[in-house]
Structure 1
Amino acid sequence: MNKTYDVAVIGGGPGGLMAAYRIAQNDPSLSVVLFEKGHALSDRVCPLVSKKVDKCIKCRSCAIMEGMAGAGAFSDGKYVISTEYGGWLTDFLAPETVINYIEQADAILVSFGATTERFMPNNELKKLCIQNDLHMSQAQLKHLGTDANFETMLHLIDSLQGKVDIRTDTCVTDVDRHTHQISFTSGGQADTVSADKILFAVGRVGSGFFSDWCQKNDIPLENNQVDVGVRVELPSMIWEDFSRKIYEPKIWYRSKKYGDVTRMFCFNERGHVVTENTAGILTVNGHSYRDEARKTQNSNFALLSTTRFTQPFNAPIEYARHVAKLANMVSGGSVLVQRLGDLEAGRRTDEKRLRDSTTKPTLNAVAGDLSLCMPKRQLDNIIETLHALDKIAPGTANHDTLLYGIECKYYSARPAADDFELTGCPGIYALGDGAGFTRSLSQASANGLYIADKISAKNNFCLSHK
């Protein structure tokens, strides 16, 4: 391993990989190192998903959440070709520039095997939502699939061999903003390298590390939003009128009781509910495969209530983690599942009631009572929204609809930056979900390509600022 590089990328998720790929493409003479805290992609095997265990055993490195290709490697691989949602790059770049880079990233993924099939917006479904006081965001959308996306990312990573020095199972512990010296540990040994340009592409798992680093280096941060809620599971036929036409119904609703926004997203047609481990706290998410043999009879989606905190509170991520930790405590170190009918009746779901459910769970979660760990306001919003959604997809608010908790979406603290270069840190950049600029595979990938073009010796693409 060299001691000095032209470019160092911290994080091997979609943004970091796209940045490394484009830099190597633009100028092969540049030396590039990529650090990834987790395992190589081929070594990322979750014992729960592979059915070697029946509950999460809290591996030191969660194969679902971290490793090469990032958390997106095990998502169901939705690729959003729009600026209507998926991040905030249009706060910094012209919309046409963002779309251009999203399309460039898609072309790269297609070259490594990703599907070309696109779901298109549907105004009839949008009209149906509006008629029922629901609001649907629209976009061109690709479903890469949990299985197919894994293979695509393997091919992308393989293409970097010999061009980028990839260091997996390597934890960056510090970056000196003045000398650009990067401190890290690998195999129990501490070491350092330096780089002319440094890119923080740490993803959501690394957002805490990045926030701490910014605070230590007096870089202002902005973050006041968090989403807390549940993963909803129900028979797939209930939402198939939407999923067959647009794949993902991405719908938000403003509650009548509090005026809060609750949103439905991350839809997984005939998918699986899964457990995620972030720093020892278990939450839930969803996967969906392209392989017909791996599909289920259920669909699932996230239903999260948005809270925007005001002064003096400034720890929204810690708040969400605390709620999730309560669910882990109540469930005896796991995640909870409850039937909607039991929740509304004010009783817990026990094992017998869960066995009697007509909706059979795809995750081995602990039957229990979400009201013991989720704040009343968010729970009220979720119940009200389920009944609103029932008007456009009857059956959504059935007694046996399953609710898993807790699901959280942390919006990483956004650092002060000029064109993604951190304030007071020449040559040090931040990108993607971990820096609070994006919240999707497509925008994180676009962000990585944009910064790569910005810092590479050959600028072959137009960089248009707002």
Structure 2
Amino acid sequence: MAQNYDVVVVGAGAAGVFMAYEFVKLDKNIKVCIIDQGGPVSKRKCPIDGKKVKSCIHCKVCSIMHGFGGAGGMSDGKYNITNNFGGDLYTFTGKEKAIELMQYVDKINLEMGGQDAKLYSTTSSDIKAMALKYDLHLLDAQVRHLGTDRNMQILQNIYDFVKDKIDIKFYESVQGITGKENDFTVITDKDEYHCSNAVVAAGRSGSKWISEICDNFGIKRRSNRVDIGVRVEIPAAVFEHITSKVYESKIVYRTKKYGDLVRTFCMNPYGEVVTENTNGIITVNGHSYADPALRTENTNFALLVSNTFSEPFKDSNAYGESIARLSNMLGGGVLVQRFGDLVAGRRTNEHRFGQTFLNPTLKATPGDLSLVIPKRQLDDIIEMIYALDKIAPGMANIDTLLYGVEVKFYNSRVDVDENLETAVKGLYVLGDGSGVTHSLSQASASGVFAARTISEKFN
């Protein structure tokens, strides 16, 4: 027999976590349940230790991607307070309201253990001026860096705050949602949950499942883009004059050869390169820590090329997946290549890799990225590296490491109204799974916003 709730939230990622917090804070006696196929914060641990386990072993449920906090939980905890990137939440809430919501999320993070986390500003005029000389554009934002370690502690504190007021079902996989307006049944591999409000917040990793739910309910979707690129690893000293002032330097460059946009993403000073398992595909990402004892001598960040497709092609995520699968096929996981080898047109083998002066932070397979990444995107990345070398000499060093591939999947934009509610009343889609947000701050803000909207029904 189905359990009854006022609200059932599918996904305990950033949107689900902050939605739970806001429901508890509002204290309107709303019966809420959150379901996630991962585990609590204390159980989230990737088995890769660099010693006994050096690469992804394809766990049934990836602890990096799933569990309380979602994929953002084990990230480096960067909250960008801006409407300039990270999603389009402001198109639903208005620009001022979107910033207000992100600042509210920031306030929660500080109260829950992030009070010592530094707030950076990317509006440093000297760096912006230096970048502009070479047609590099530094986007404006405020950035709160929590660090992976502090981020997990904050999530634990939020969990402790909400766990006795709402029900959280871990290690349950949602199979589907059935029903009609304000009358839904959420079906998992273990149970059924009946509710008047169903919230889909399954994140990017749930993109295929979200598409199926939308199709079943006749909810319109629009194809979105996919970003293809590499994760760059360099000595921290190369970018230190920039990261010490702005930390998350979001730099955009339009290539001269093709006119494509290339951007830096997820800057991790003194961090480490890590792997992610998304629907069985191994890609790369980066972490950095607040604790100085956990820092490395390297900085890593992604270089991503945006790909938006015209008709008749609609499945941009499948395109990104095919490239990532090819990398997995050739490298048994992640490939790594020295920049000098790439521009020389030669494969990085074990011998050449062993000669690098840089100490890599991820165990990856030396190889040739030109066999994986399409020529146009690879040309864009190479041109961007040479452009960055003008403001950060050493970027184009022979030993600069490129890990591939990094793919940022963007869910198809789900057709929702100003309350993030679909045409099916009572069915909401929010967070990165909606295609509306692409960042921790905006996904979290969408959870707060939707919780307030739903709560108004229970006055």
Q: TM-score range by the shorter chain?
A: over 0.9
Distance 2:276 2:244 in 1: 28
The 5-angstrom pairing of residues 185-264 of structure 1 reads 185-186=189-190, 191-264=191-264
2:142 corresponding residue in structure 1? 140
Contact 1:420 1:430 in 2 (8 A): no
Distance 1:224 1:148 in 2: 33
**Residue identity in the other structure for 2:185:** Q
Question: CA offsets, 1:216-258, max 9 Å, x none?
Answer: 2221111231100000000000000110001111101111111
1:30 corresponding residue in structure 2? 30
Distance 2:185 2:2 in 1: 13
1:463 corresponding residue in structure 2? none
Contact 1:21 1:160 in 2 (8 A): yes
1:417 corresponding residue in structure 2? 416
1:390 corresponding residue in structure 2? 389
| Structure 2 unpaired stretches of 5+ | none
Distance 1:395 1:30 in 2: 56
The reply to whether residue 327 of structure 1 matches residue 327 of structure 2 is: yes
* Offset at residue 25 of structure 1 (A): 1.9
> CA 1:319/1:420 → structure 2, altered by over 3 Å: closer, same or farther?
farther
Distance 2:421 2:153 in 1: 34
Distance 2:142 2:238 in 1: 22
Percent pairwise identity: 45
1:379 corresponding residue in structure 2? 378
The reply to whether residue 183 of structure 1 matches residue 187 of structure 2 is: yes
1:306 corresponding residue in structure 2? 306
Helix, strand or coil for the counterpart of 1:112? Answer: helix
Identify which of 150, 165, 168 aligns with 2:167: 165
Distance 1:49 1:409 in 2: 25
**Residue identity in the other structure for 2:285:** N
Distance 2:50 2:257 in 1: 43
Helix, strand or coil for the counterpart of 2:113? Answer: coil
Question: CA offsets, 1:425-456, max 9 Å, x none?
Answer: 10111111111111111111111001111110
Contact 1:337 1:405 in 2 (8 A): yes
Distance 2:449 2:71 in 1: 21
Helix, strand or coil for the counterpart of 1:277? Answer: strand
Helix, strand or coil for the counterpart of 1:418? Answer: coil
> CA 1:421/1:299 → structure 2, altered by over 3 Å: closer, same or farther?
closer
**Residue identity in the other structure for 2:200:** F
> CA 1:164/1:456 → structure 2, altered by over 3 Å: closer, same or farther?
same
1:440 corresponding residue in structure 2? 439
1:117 corresponding residue in structure 2? 118
2:176 corresponding residue in structure 1? 174
**Residue identity in the other structure for 1:159:** F
Distance 1:79 1:284 in 2: 20
Q: How many residues align?
A: 455
**Residue identity in the other structure for 1:403:** L
1:156 corresponding residue in structure 2? 158
* Offset at residue 117 of structure 1 (A): 2.2
Distance 1:78 1:102 in 2: 12
Distance 1:209 1:458 in 2: 28
Contact 2:251 2:263 in 1 (8 A): yes
2:272 corresponding residue in structure 1? 272
Please identify, of 410-419 and 263-272, the stretch whose mean Cα deviation from structure 2 is larger. Answer: 410-419
**Residue identity in the other structure for 2:227:** D
* Offset at residue 415 of structure 1 (A): 1.0
Please identify, of 113-122 and 342-351, the stretch whose mean Cα deviation from structure 2 is larger. Answer: 113-122
Contact 2:419 2:453 in 1 (8 A): no
Contact 2:8 2:34 in 1 (8 A): yes
Contact 1:75 1:287 in 2 (8 A): yes
Give TM-score scaled by structure 1 length: 0.95
**Residue identity in the other structure for 2:6:** D
* Offset at residue 213 of structure 1 (A): 1.3
Distance 2:325 2:381 in 1: 19
* Offset at residue 459 of structure 1 (A): 9.4
1:350 corresponding residue in structure 2? 349
* Offset at residue 85 of structure 1 (A): 1.4
Give TM-score scaled by structure 2 length: 0.97
* Offset at residue 51 of structure 1 (A): 4.5
* Offset at residue 197 of structure 1 (A): 1.0
> CA 1:55/1:448 → structure 2, altered by over 3 Å: closer, same or farther?
same
Distance 1:432 1:126 in 2: 31
CA RMSD of aligned residues (A): 1.5
Distance 1:424 1:93 in 2: 18
Contact 1:79 1:441 in 2 (8 A): yes
* Offset at residue 144 of structure 1 (A): 0.3
Helix, strand or coil for the counterpart of 2:357? Answer: coil
Distance 1:415 1:247 in 2: 32
Contact 1:26 1:459 in 2 (8 A): no
Contact 1:174 1:182 in 2 (8 A): yes
Question: CA offsets, 1:203-226, max 9 Å, x none?
Answer: 111121101211222211112311
Contact 1:265 1:303 in 2 (8 A): yes
Question: CA offsets, 1:391-428, max 9 Å, x none?
Answer: 11111011110000000001111111112444431011
**Residue identity in the other structure for 1:351:** E
Distance 1:119 1:397 in 2: 27
Distance 1:407 1:172 in 2: 27
Distance 1:271 1:246 in 2: 16
1:464 corresponding residue in structure 2? none
Distance 1:177 1:90 in 2: 31
1:7 corresponding residue in structure 2? 7
Distance 1:437 1:227 in 2: 16
Identify which of 108, 126, 129 aligns with 2:128: 126
Please identify, of 177-186 and 65-74, the stretch whose mean Cα deviation from structure 2 is larger. Answer: 177-186
Contact 2:224 2:435 in 1 (8 A): no
> CA 1:342/1:254 → structure 2, altered by over 3 Å: closer, same or farther?
same
Distance 2:40 2:2 in 1: 20
> CA 1:424/1:139 → structure 2, altered by over 3 Å: closer, same or farther?
closer
Distance 1:150 1:215 in 2: 35
Distance 2:345 2:249 in 1: 29
* Offset at residue 124 of structure 1 (A): 1.3
> CA 1:459/1:181 → structure 2, altered by over 3 Å: closer, same or farther?
closer
> CA 1:200/1:288 → structure 2, altered by over 3 Å: closer, same or farther?
same
Helix, strand or coil for the counterpart of 1:151? Answer: helix
Helix, strand or coil for the counterpart of 1:265? Answer: strand
Distance 1:286 1:101 in 2: 26
The 5-angstrom pairing of residues 3-152 of structure 1 reads 3-49=3-49, 51-115=51-115, 116-120=117-121, 121-152=123-154
